[in-house]
Amino acid sequence: MKQCPICATQYPDDAKFCPRDGATLVSAAGATSDPLIGQTLAGRYEILSKLGEGGMGSVYRARHRLLGRVDAVKMLRPDAANAEAARRFLREAKLAASINHPNAVVIHDFGEAESGVAFLAMEYIPGQPLSKLLQKQGPLPPAQAVAVARQIAAALDAAHQLGVVHRDLKPDNIMVMDGDRVKVVDFGIAKAMGGKESVVPMTQVGLVVGTPQYMSPEQALGEPLDARSDVYSLALVTYEMLVGASPFLGDSMQAQMVARISEPPRPMRVAAPHIAVPPAIEAVVRQALAQAPAHRPASAGAFATQLEKALSAADGAQPRPSSAQSAAPTQYQVATLATGGARSPADTQPSPASAQANVFRPPPAFATPPSVAPTRPMPAAQPAPAPGGSKSGLWLIGGLLGIGGIAALGLAVGLAFYVFSAPPGGGLTNGGGGSSLVKAERAAALRRSRSLREAGDYAGALRLIEERLAADPFAPELRIEKAEVLFEKERFVESEDIVRDVLKTHPDYGPAHQSLGVLKYRQGKEDEAIAGQMRCLELDPEPEYVCYAHAALAQIYANQYFSNRRKFAARFEQAELEARAALAAATRKSLEAGPRLTLARLFVDRKQYALAREQTDKILRDGAVWKARDRASVYAQVAVIAFLEKRYAEAAEAAEQASQLDPKNEDYRKLSDITRRYRVRGKTKGQGAS
């Protein structure tokens, strides 16, 4: 038998390399014999047995001769004991010893042995590596996986606050004890990110250190790292805990590294078809696996918080940090996603918000000014063949199927939503402030402003908010309300200035990050738009904000996919997952309209017309939208679906509805003309019944 010198996994004699670590295998018999066993190290550590071997050294079980304490002692390998390696190893010990957290291994001692070889002594952990647990047990239940991830994240956050990046997070470096208590070990190739500890860097840019299977893209490329690299590695570990497989395929470690740099992660239902992971949880993991660090959660703790909220939604439980109950995807929803959307979860209703919340948070307007829609031309999707169809008619149908005509609807999820979503009474957990009377007056002003905006009186809404701001100038919700009004008046520069001012005084106010993201999307800055929505999610907002951000991400990803199907192929899955997550977090029917329309567009692209129809029917049946322009968008989508099903009479009626509801929309008028012509032709050929 042969054995991996790093993870101690045994293999047949004909094996050469460990597929987990890429290390050259050694004889299992030779690996068990070690001349240090029975010796005393530095006059105080009696070496009892060998526990394992890593890239820089070996780990032994040892007893402190004076204290009687059993420790794990790590020694630098003799063949690596040059001056630079020793300095790096002792730096490891100093940095690791500075991390004081219940979920991080405790460093008791470090120094040099009699032979000059550097060593460090750490607490001995009676448990097993997470890798062994997964080998024995297989994938973990979501609740157990999230609990383990939370503890890992806590240890990483403690290290990151000291400027230390782990750089080698993997299941082998995560010890699981009784009761699923977790210790993160081997900060051995951690690197100081700043301050005095970075004067003598442990690694140079371009030097790749770590385990290839769990490296972030930037680490694989030898680029500078920060905490988000560890977030990526934690997401890889979490993915493996949930499905028992890697999100990236490859015949070798190098192939997997290339995949992480160039490909999106596999959907969990593809990696493990027999396991149904709640879609909201998968969406959080996929975000943390973004290739660009800016698109990931900014901290390990933020990632863990998102996982916990997604788990709470999946379990139907109330998220601990939130003040309102979040809706949970049912088992039927989970099965739907796992089977590729065989049916639509149209019957699942979110839990309603409280009566007071419904009064203060009325259903939002969905329509967004045309200038918000992407300005670049979008390629037309190919509709089903129709008798006697003109090319111009098919182009219009295809454009509506993708983005044209109805695309602007979705981004109301971003900017038009958040303004109506402050907690009842106007209080905020991060800066609302003020007496009860001030909060009540603030809430009343916001309600009145909303009513004026619903009536199209933006000038009146602006006057009202400015009057209230004169007496309450620092309230972030009032300032964001003013930014929203200015946005609707297409005074975008002023709107953005206000949002940025809010972020200066309230940097952790989620709605401001979300609205800035929408403003950036209007400017064509998609990466910043995505980052704004994700930052909002990281700030642990209440369920409605969770819904808004997921819905906005779904819309942005869908628009990217329809703009260039080849370049943004992965966005299809991401858009669907984000839309599902938004539905899971929705607290009332009105919040479902945006994500359901996104799902309808995706289902149409997949030619799953019945599923698309369920989404639009649900919106209309629930009365989720009531403004004429918003209902017009829904009817336009109904017309597209009916047209592609060759139900021309129904398509013509729906298109006519859209045109009447929004007579200024030229696309709806053209759509009505085209579907009416098809209806007439269908009748002449006996195909008029739909």
72 SS3 class: strand
Distance CA 252, CA 258 (A): 10
Looking at residue 31, its amino acid is A
Which phi-psi region, left, alpha or beta, contains residue 107 (left: φ > 0; alpha: ψ -120 to 50)? Answer: beta
Nearest CA to 268 out of 560, 576, 597 is that of 576
DSSP state for residue 104 in the 8-state scheme: B
What b/e string do you get for 168-202 counting C-beta neighbours within 10 Å, with b at 16 or more? bbbbbbbbbeeeeebbbbbbbbbbbbeeebeeeeb
Residue 230 annotated among the catalytic residues of the structure: no
250 CB burial (10 A radius; 0-12, 13-18, 19+) = middle
Distance CA 61, CA 73 (A): 6
| Degrees to nearest 5, angle at CA 74 with 50 and 4 | 50
Q: Which helix (H) or strand (E) holds 84?
A: helix 83-97
Distance CA 510, CA 495 (A): 16
Q: What are the two backbone dihedrals, phi and then psi, of residue 562, each rounded to the nearest 5 degrees?
A: -70, -25
CB 648 within 8 A of CB 678: yes
Looking at residue 205, its amino acid is V
Handedness of CA 119, 209, 290, 240 (dihedral sign): negative
Q: Which two tokens stand for residue 591?
A: 């919040």
What b/e string do you get for 538-573 counting C-beta neighbours within 10 Å, with b at 16 or more? bbbbbbbbbbbbbbbbbbbbbbbbbbeeeebebbbb
CB 413 within 8 A of CB 533: no
The active-site residue out of 168, 172, 605, 662 is 168
Nearest CA to 292 out of 530, 504, 458 is that of 530
CA within 13 Å, CB half, 34: 22
53 bridge partner residues: 58
CB 338 within 8 A of CB 269: yes
Nearest CA to 106 out of 76, 142, 77, 69 is that of 69
Residues with a catalytic annotation lie at: 168
